[in-house]
Each structure stands twice: as C-alpha cells, then as structure tokens.
Amino acid sequence: MTGAERRYFHEQKKKVDPIPEEFASYGEAAEFWDKHDTTHYPGKFRTVKVVSEFRNRHYEIPIDGDVALRLQQRARKAGVPPGRLASELLRKQLRAAG
C-alpha cells in the first residue's frame, strides 16, 4: 500500500458517521448500512447466542409459465398459497401413481 493510500484510509477512518439511535424504517436502516461498514464501529456490536431450527424446507422446481398461471388462479380461488396447492396436487398425483 502506498503512502497516499494509507493516508486516504486513515482519513476515511476519522470520518465515521455516528450510528443513529433509531431508524424511522427498515428502508432507512438499509440505506445507512449500504453506505457504512460495521468494521468502522468497533465496540458498538456485541455477540449474541442464537438457537434456531429449520421448520420447513422449500424447494424450487422449474414449471412452465402456463402451468404457473393456472396454479396461481386455482390457488386464489381456493384461498390458499400457490405453493400449498402445488404440494397438495403433487401429493395426490404421487399417491395415485403408487
């Protein structure tokens, strides 16, 4: 790293905006963090223990556009999400096929 690069990074380190106490919206928070780097705020974050578990798995499979459109229409009529309707239809077909 050249001397000029070191000076640039040193100056950038000095010009750190304070983290707002509150954000008015998720969008405002996202905009702030899009323009800032958490590594410029040492000591402002703490490690937390998180325990999580998978509740559902989701799979992505390609289907033809006309099939997707009909699936969405039928799901809307039935008042269920398209993924749930697709699972029910596939389950019935697979059961019938043995």
For the entire predicted model, the pTM comes to 0.46
Question: What local confidence, expressed as pLDDT, does residue 15 receive?
Answer: 74
**Contact indicator for 26, 32 with CB cutoff of 8 Å:** no
Higher pLDDT, 5 or 75: 75
**7-58, pLDDT tens digit by residue?**
655 555 567 889 999 999 999 999 999 999 988 888 888 899 999 998 888 8
Helix residue ranges, H only, 1-98: 3-14, 26-35, 65-78, 82-97
Task: Using the predicted structure, report yes or no on whether residue 71 has a pLDDT greater than 60.
Answer: yes
Amino acid at 48: V
**Contact indicator for 75, 82 with CB cutoff of 8 Å:** yes
Task: Using the predicted structure, report yes or no on whether residue 2 has a pLDDT greater than 80.
Answer: no
**74-90, pLDDT tens digit by residue?**
999 999 999 999 999 99
Question: What local confidence, expressed as pLDDT, does residue 51 receive?
Answer: 93
Please state, in angstroms and rounded to a whole number, the distance separating the CA atoms of residues 90 and 96: 10
